[in-house]
Amino acid sequence: MSRSALVGNIAAMLDDAGFLVSDRCALRPKSFDLAARRGEDLVLLKILGNIDALDAETGAELRRLGEYLSATPMVIGLRTRDEDLNPGVVYFRHGVPVFHPDTAFDLFVEAVPPLIYAAPGGLYVSIDGDLLADEREERGWSLGRLASELGVSRRTVSKYEDGMNASIDVAIQLEELFNKPFSNPVSVLDGTDEIREADPTPEDPAVDPDDEHVLTVLTRAGFEVHPTVRSPFKAVSEDSDSRERNVLTGHSTFTKTAEKRAKLMSSIGSVTQTRSVYFTKEQSKHESVDGTAIVSCEELAAIDDPDRIRELIRERAAEPDR
């Protein structure tokens, strides 16, 4: 299956599952392919045939965007260079959860989260330690008795009951011994924080010198500006006024490609519930494109009142869909 077809299939699946799905990010650079929201769940999806194509820089960008937009970054793919991905298993690349399209279907359509995750050394599950302790004590088994049944040390069983994760083989043994599962689902939509051993969110990248003057003006206007390097927009600007929405921010000469980018930003903004603004290097006949505010750098330079910058963006940017 081509990557384009895979992206189309995932978009259709999310739509059927009740998600609001953005237009596909077909313009480069693109750290993600789709944004999708259902209720409070917002996901940024990178869709790949071979997940090894996800490099460290793109993984870092996805994680930063997840932080800026209160979203969960994910990668959906079919295989690595060496093997196919197993359905029902969560993998990780550069701190981003990765899974097979069948796992995505189970999660988004059937509301069945995965139970297994891959980590160095094999496949693992998160054990419900309190339930295990209760079941062991109800049978009158000591830690040593259960350790003997599992072929592990008494100390290891104690760690399972304290919340240490277990190999899939141990999880199967426990289920057979007690005739019930002890595995907790992997909270993919919460970023898999219960099992993920990722570094803190990567720091913001350096500002492109070509964009510095625009982003500086936004900073002076009270926005906390987060530059991007591989996204369809140049920055995510967080408004210091908590009542206002964040702003996806673009900047370039207003070409046909820039117009397409502004339309894409509007589509993404309708999903992420942000406004979008595109700063142009020359005066434009447009005041907005599909809900993305168009503001020339000349207009921006002429505004002394920081609040007026917010007002101008608000006036020209259509309200995002709910």
pLDDT on residue 318:
66
Give the pLDDT confidence of 43-52 residue by residue, as tens digits: 999 999 999 9
The Cα-based distances of 259 to 96, 116, 127, 185, 256 in angstroms read 31, 44, 51, 43, 5
- Output the pTM of the full model: 0.89
User: For the segment 20-34, what is each residue's pLDDT rounded down to a tens digit?
Assistant: 999 999 888 889 999
How crowded is the C-beta side of 222, counted as CA atoms within 13 Å?
15
**303 by DSSP, 3-state: which?**
coil
Average pLDDT over residues 219-223: 87
**157 has pLDDT over 70:** yes
- State the pLDDT at residue 239: 82
Q: Which two tokens stand for residue 190?
A: 């919460």
Q: pLDDT tens across 78-121, in order?
A: 999 999 999 999 999 999 999 999 999 999 999 999 999 998 88
Could you give the domains of the chain? 3-114 (3.40.1350), 123-184 (1.10.260.40), 212-316 (3.40.1350)
CB 161 within 8 A of CB 146: no
Strand partners, 245: none
